[in-house]
Structure 1
Amino acid sequence: MVNSKPGYRADIEGLRALAVILVILYHFEVPGITGGFIGVDVFFVISGFVITQLLERAFAKGTFRFADFYARRIRRLVPVFLLVSTVTFLMISPFYIGDAYYIFAKSWLSSLIGISNLYYFTELTQYFAPETRSLSLLHTWSLAVEEQFYLIWPLTLYLAYRFGKGRSGHWPFRITLLLTFALSVYLASRWPAAAYYLLPARLFEFMLGTGVALFANRLPRLSRTAAESLSLAGLAMIIATALLLTKHDHFPGYNALWPTLGTALVIYAGLHQPGTVAGRLLSLPVMVFLGGISYSLYLWHWPPVALMHYQLVELTAWNRIALLAGVVVVSWLSYRYVENRYRHRPWSLKKSFMVFVLGPLIAIWAIQSTIRIADDLSFRIPEERRELYTIIANNNPADLYKRCFKGDPVEFNTGNACLFGAPAKDGKPNSMLIGDSHGIAQIGFVEQLIEGKGYSLLMVTRASTPFLPTPIAEKVQARDPTQVARNHALTEYLEQHPPMTVFLGAWWNSYLRNEAYQQHFLRTLNWLIDQGHTVVILEDVPELPSSSYAECLLKNMDDCTIDATEVEQNLINFYRFKEAARAQHPEILWTNPRKVLCDEQRCQTVLNGIPLYRDESHLNNVGAVEIGKEYLKRFDNPLPGIHETEPQTQH
């Protein structure tokens, strides 16, 4: 049945279908679709065009009311979102634990009020950012961007119509389009996370669509040949970008221009010649059907994939097919019985807001608060696995020894709370463990090595703060005054105390991706040795492909090992640093916990039935202790004794 709505175009429904197909194939990790995420950008152009046409018709008839516009937007977008997000909440509740469950609740709330892009931007740029592939509502960031566009564009266009000066309006538009594109290129280069998640870098994409709606009829009418050429070129630009672009490429910026300009060309050509080859392909019944349910498809497709990632279930060809079939069915059902049930109801803005926003907002806030304050795991985690959960979730060394990790960067704690091993003579330790969160994560391992060896060890660590002497820190860490202040205080402490044994821990793999850090760390070693200190470098444990592997035992996985070859490949930069350091200072001692965990083929994430990690790169404290015990069983202790000791300080 042909849709007879004013302005309806079957080829635009087909463009919607193409956009959502690309996104789904990308998220389902179908080989070859490396840039399928550009489907979102195709949606943005379509939205700019469709909304502008809708507004223009209302302005021309004199029927536009802001309250009606936003009431329709609420009824169009929110009911299906509430259905999908509620089902997702019920679906993940037996599986998601700890921060993952609470993060879902926070993202649920931010998605409902249209700021999930802001939430994910702030959440995913933190040091302890969650694993993105397991975030069930991550895909709503694009809906938030679209909703934010809806907030600013109707008023902007209304003012332009009310106070603009006729045909001269295309000049301000062109200038704004060029400026917003330049802004996107700049942000994608300087602040890629902000460019990806926030509206400013995507604004030019909407404007390409609005520009076609506003000014296409002022250009010469396209001939059949010109329309065929432009529409095919546009379609080819979309598909080629989806096949050639990767997640590692500069984006959005100039790479977003190709699919969005291609979309604008297809829409523009269809305004003049609706029967082009590209237009007929996009107007095929299957494309029109998928385009009609594209919003539901977009909402439904990601949550089951995120749960599979969380549960470490592999995406095979068969479960991709099953997922796709299931998503199409539930999308059609929700389109028919939810989208169409509410979108055309003549409810006021007040009623729409109260029913679909305010009421659910209160309910979701109550769920979030309950999870945060009093989440009872007993109904979600079987009793036999709660001890495993406790090991993973409640044994973060940064929390157990927070006095040695958090607090004042200058007046760091030198009291008994941060002293390990033998009692300090006259309150003065003879060794230190300094570094970042990877340093403190290994304290359980270090405790096993220093036991009975005469080490009175003071631990001073801070998140994202590897030790660098003051002259280096002032240059390298200048953007973060707390890092400089901490390292200045440590520099003074190490200068003023007699020679000590200094254990250095850091997220070596992260820092050494920057080639300059090779020299920064080598100069740091030179400085420590010049001060007369003995240096022990704590090598890192294998990094996991995902934080979900930390909870492998909770997920009843048969195999909790990871590929040793990939672990070794990730250590290439560290091995270059180690080789250079050994050449300059062969006296440096190195401790390597990977010796316990890895053979030539696989690396363990579980040892003697104990989960070792708390996320993809940090040990939990029980795991660190177990690695230390196993190390001493299998290998000689690399640490020399310092002197006879008295009974150990207990921690």
Structure 2
Amino acid sequence: MPNVRSAPPATSGAELRGGATRRGDLDGLRGIAIALVVAFHVWAGRVSGGVDVFLVLSGFFFTGAVVRTVERGGGVAPMQTARRTVRRLMPSLVVVLAGVLVATVVLRPYTQLGEAAAQTMASMFYVQNWYLAIAEQDYLSPDPSVSPLQHLWSMSVQGQFYLAIVVLLAGWAWLRRRGAAGRTTLTIALVGLGALSFWYATAGHAQHQAWTYYDSLARGWELLAGAVLALAAPWLRLPNRVRGLAAALGVAMVLACGPIFDGANQFPGVAALWPVGAACLVIVSGFGTATAWPNRVLAGRVCTELGAMAYPLYLWHWPILIFYLGETGTANAGVVDGLVVIGVSLVLAYATTRLIETPLRLPPRGAHVERHRGTGFLVAATAAAVLIGSLGWQLVLLANPAVPPQALDVHRYPGAAALFSGAEYSPEPMRPTVFEGQADTPAPTTDGCITPNREVRVCTYGDPNADRSIALVGGSHSEHWLPALEVLGREHGFRVISYLKEGCPVVLVDQPSYAEWPFPECHEWSLEVLDRLAAEPPNWVLTLSTRYRMNGLGDEVPAEYLEVWSALQDRGLNVLALRDTPRLRRDGVLYRATDCLAHRGDPDSCGQNRNDVLDPHDPAAEPAAGYPSVYPIDLSDALCRPQRCRVVEGNVLIYRDDHHLTASYARSLAPELGRQIGAVTGWW
């Protein structure tokens, strides 16, 4: 299923007040855009293009309002601008964040409370996009494994833009008072900044799409497109017939964007010119005295009523969808279920608009004073509760850090030995615990020896003085075998040399068949690693031989892996080809072992049928026969029982998330891994 991402609706058309004519057609465009966002999220699993429409409208409305303030009074009126923006955006956001926190406590595993609290604070302070980018949380299709707050990354992008544009306009206002800069100068400056942002987005999309999607600098050009139109409005006067065609074309492009583009994997690069251009066409079509017929249609009651509550509808629909999928355990909402999700979202959006937004927008005088003050007090109290609750839970976690075990008594905690040697043991409390599991990582994660970027980092483990060596090469699924190799290296006298990159199995193409977007950085890194291995050849190279089938059961050997085997063999390198570990999936939905165990699950119910995640025989065995220097290794029997792959064996937790081994369980695999390596290498 493709990734799905979204952005929040633009700020209210009320920002056009104060000298500018209200654009009902843009309210209607916002209504169409939010309808597409919701429908595509719930049913289609694709980006609708509403993302970029909202960003353009936000840049247009906000920049236009501040520029008019400057031209009326000579300055940006920062306090007035801040009050207006906060009053428009924060109340609904606070209410939704409170609702999500309560629902998380009631419905989600307690292991997710820490992440929910962290994302709540990131969303409240408008840094959610950077939180997700740094965490490398690729934006998944909506399913129970996705955070109900993950969609708010784009709110952060807009908030950061508002702050930056106010600072920029304050500088322009200072120059303007001294006669050094007018609208033309500012427009040229914004066009230049937009061009730089577009270049940056295009380059970033080609190199690292997952990061670029969240990057405010890469998104800036879309908001700046609207900002430039707000400045250039006096000069953009098209003939009436042309304006009608522009509006019609713009609306048609908005409607066609979702089916045509895979926006989650293509935006904010060159492909985003389509929805951005569509929004710009509709905006420009309204610059004039006569109203073209497409603009009159957009200004109709249905579109504008939907546009009026677009912001709270955006805020509510995603968490409602995610919690619904989480409770039903399904990856998608069907037609009827989707209608229920949309219906509940509309009701909550209407209630939020009527009970929260409207009272706060009314002037606090006359009959409205009591309602205005009461609503303001309620929102302020809710905001305080959200912040205190989120910060409090974070402090609790900081005061009680998860410290995974460095060594376990093999008699009480045999781990994998319970499977491969039938070791007997008595029941003991599981280690690592559900809180310790995520922190039970291999050494490269903590010592920086797995790189997040293009840099090739080489580290040595095991016996650093040994003559014999095994190079461990690949991504995190290679990395999680290091604890077992460390044990073997010290025991049998060999060095373990790591060449590791996050999310990057060795690959010789920019976008392998199993990748969701191009990742040329991985290709470049792989080529350099191969050159280094050829220049300083280890005795053996250990890398993965299989991968789970993304759209089916069991596992397979991707064609790109065979290309890597050939490249290694051509360089005279001997390869230990290790079968990959099963991933925890139900109906295509990934789930974490710790969450399942914390949410009324047990080691068996949280596991999977073996024939659902593994083929009956190692898929690498047959193709490896054609490569004299490639030797398959399969530890599936030390991970799974004959019929079932559980998440706990020998009192030891197997998975720290949905597909990575805990370091504790990996260490318990050392005897079986050593037996198979010894049989191939003849070292012991």
Residues 285-434 of structure 1: pairs in structure 2 closer than 5 A:
285-308=301-324, 312-317=329-334, 318-344=336-362, 361=387, 364-374=390-400, 394=436, 399=441, 402=443, 406=447, 410=459, 412-414=461-463, 434=472
Tell me, yes or no, if the aligned pair for 2:250 and 2:277 is still in contact at 8 Å: yes
Partner of 1:538: 578
Partner of 1:21: 35
AA at the equivalent of 2:199: A
SS of the aligned residue for 2:626 comes to helix
AA at the equivalent of 2:249: A
Q: 1:245 to 1:274 in 2, by over 3 A?
A: farther
Moved more, 359-368 or 71-80: 359-368
Tell me, yes or no, if the aligned pair for 1:237 and 1:262 is still in contact at 8 Å: yes
- Aligned-partner Cα distance in 1 for 2:445–2:272: 46
Tell me, yes or no, if the aligned pair for 1:79 and 1:338 is still in contact at 8 Å: yes
Residues 35-434 of structure 1: pairs in structure 2 closer than 5 A:
35-36=47-48, 38-62=49-73, 64-97=76-109, 100-124=112-136, 134-160=146-172, 162=176, 163-165=180-182, 167=184, 170-223=187-240, 225-247=241-263, 249-272=265-288, 275-308=291-324, 312-317=329-334, 318-344=336-362, 361=387, 364-374=390-400, 394=436, 399=441, 402=443, 406=447, 410=459, 412-414=461-463, 434=472
AA at the equivalent of 2:70: F
- Aligned-partner Cα distance in 1 for 2:445–2:285: 65
For 2:477, which of 430, 438, 457 is the aligned residue? 438
TM-aligned CA deviation for residue 77 of structure 1: 1.2
SS of the aligned residue for 2:461 comes to coil
- Aligned-partner Cα distance in 1 for 2:611–2:393: 41
Residues 462-541 of structure 1: pairs in structure 2 closer than 5 A:
464=500, 504-506=542-544, 509=547, 515=560, 518-519=563-564, 523=568, 527=572, 529=574, 536-541=576-581
Tell me whether 1:12 sits opposite 2:26 in the alignment: yes
Tell me, yes or no, if the aligned pair for 2:472 and 2:497 is still in contact at 8 Å: yes
Tell me whether 1:619 sits opposite 2:661 in the alignment: yes
Partner of 2:452: none
Q: How many residues align?
A: 578
Tell me, yes or no, if the aligned pair for 1:234 and 1:263 is still in contact at 8 Å: yes
Tell me, yes or no, if the aligned pair for 1:560 and 1:604 is still in contact at 8 Å: yes
- Aligned-partner Cα distance in 1 for 2:352–2:378: 19
1:176-211 residue CA offsets vs partner (Å, 9 max, x unmatched): 444443333233223323431122222222222223
TM-aligned CA deviation for residue 365 of structure 1: 2.3
SS of the aligned residue for 2:658 comes to coil
Q: 1:171 to 1:65 in 2, by over 3 A?
A: closer
1:343-398 residue CA offsets vs partner (Å, 9 max, x unmatched): 456799xx99998988865653223222443499xxxxxxxxx9679565545795
- Aligned-partner Cα distance in 2 for 1:320–1:221: 42
Tell me, yes or no, if the aligned pair for 1:435 and 1:504 is still in contact at 8 Å: yes
1:23-76 residue CA offsets vs partner (Å, 9 max, x unmatched): 222322x13x6331x212111111122123322432343285111101221122
Structure 1 unpaired stretches of 5+: 377-385, 416-426, 469-474, 496-501, 530-534, 646-651
TM-aligned CA deviation for residue 478 of structure 1: 9.0
AA at the equivalent of 1:548: Y
Q: 1:488 to 1:629 in 2, by over 3 A?
A: closer
Q: 1:17 to 1:628 in 2, by over 3 A?
A: farther
Tell me whether 1:591 sits opposite 2:634 in the alignment: yes
Q: 1:404 to 1:549 in 2, by over 3 A?
A: closer
TM-aligned CA deviation for residue 585 of structure 1: 1.8
- Aligned-partner Cα distance in 1 for 2:546–2:320: 35
Tell me, yes or no, if the aligned pair for 2:635 and 2:672 is still in contact at 8 Å: no
Partner of 1:648: none
Tell me, yes or no, if the aligned pair for 2:320 and 2:345 is still in contact at 8 Å: no
Q: 1:515 to 1:560 in 2, by over 3 A?
A: closer
TM-score by length of 1: 0.71
- Aligned-partner Cα distance in 2 for 1:429–1:123: 38
Structure 2 unpaired stretches of 5+: 1-12, 365-371, 403-427, 450-457, 507-520, 549-556
TM-aligned CA deviation for residue 329 of structure 1: 0.9
TM-aligned CA deviation for residue 247 of structure 1: 4.4
Partner of 1:421: none
AA at the equivalent of 2:64: Q
AA at the equivalent of 2:500: S
Q: 1:115 to 1:297 in 2, by over 3 A?
A: same
TM-aligned CA deviation for residue 22 of structure 1: 2.0
Tell me, yes or no, if the aligned pair for 1:15 and 1:282 is still in contact at 8 Å: yes
AA at the equivalent of 1:412: Y
TM-aligned CA deviation for residue 233 of structure 1: 0.0
Q: 1:508 to 1:596 in 2, by over 3 A?
A: closer
Tell me, yes or no, if the aligned pair for 1:445 and 1:625 is still in contact at 8 Å: yes
TM-aligned CA deviation for residue 609 of structure 1: 11
TM-aligned CA deviation for residue 217 of structure 1: 2.8
Tell me, yes or no, if the aligned pair for 1:434 and 1:505 is still in contact at 8 Å: yes
Q: 1:173 to 1:625 in 2, by over 3 A?
A: closer
- Aligned-partner Cα distance in 1 for 2:310–2:322: 19
SS of the aligned residue for 1:464 comes to strand
Tell me, yes or no, if the aligned pair for 1:14 and 1:291 is still in contact at 8 Å: yes
Tell me, yes or no, if the aligned pair for 2:56 and 2:225 is still in contact at 8 Å: yes
AA at the equivalent of 1:464: L
Q: Which structure shows the higher helix fraction?
A: 1
Moved more, 610-619 or 433-442: 433-442
Q: 1:281 to 1:524 in 2, by over 3 A?
A: same
Moved more, 43-52 or 306-315: 306-315
- Aligned-partner Cα distance in 2 for 1:58–1:352: 31
AA at the equivalent of 1:107: Q
TM-aligned CA deviation for residue 325 of structure 1: 0.9
Q: 1:580 to 1:187 in 2, by over 3 A?
A: same
Q: 1:392 to 1:641 in 2, by over 3 A?
A: farther
Partner of 1:424: none
AA at the equivalent of 1:135: S
Tell me, yes or no, if the aligned pair for 1:397 and 1:621 is still in contact at 8 Å: no
- Aligned-partner Cα distance in 2 for 1:286–1:39: 17
